[in-house]
Amino acid sequence: KEKSFVEEPPELELKDLTSHLEYAFFEDSNKLSVIISKNLKVDEREALLNVLKSYKRAIAWKISDIKGIDLRFCTHKILMEDDYKPVVQSQRRPVGEPNSLCS
């Protein structure tokens, strides 16, 4: 079975955030992160992080962390050729089906 992010956190690539947001970390290792507002007071920040830490196993860090979800039903691969061109296809209706927009 695949380990959850809580048991085995990955190395993070932290991206630049907008000026009103900042990263906060659950552990000293800087691996389990959340994005919070910079405008929080110190006591609000600590209270928020304490609540999030107490429920960190309930947070779905990735789809395999969600209990009761079978990954075979939730994941698929889209294989594309190197020279693919994205195309928008219109939705097809069976012949004789009334157009719901016109009725």
pTM (predicted TM-score): 0.50
Q: What whole-number distance in Å separates Cα of residue 7 and Cα of residue 30? A: 14
Q: What is the pLDDT of residues 35-54, one digit of tens each?
A: 899 999 999 999 999 998 88
Q: What whole-number distance in Å separates Cα of residue 6 and Cα of residue 9? A: 6
**Amino acid symbol at 37:** S
Q: What whole-number distance in Å separates Cα of residue 18 and Cα of residue 65? A: 28
| CA-based R_g, the chain, Å | 22
Asked if the model's pLDDT at residue 59 lies above 80, the reply is no
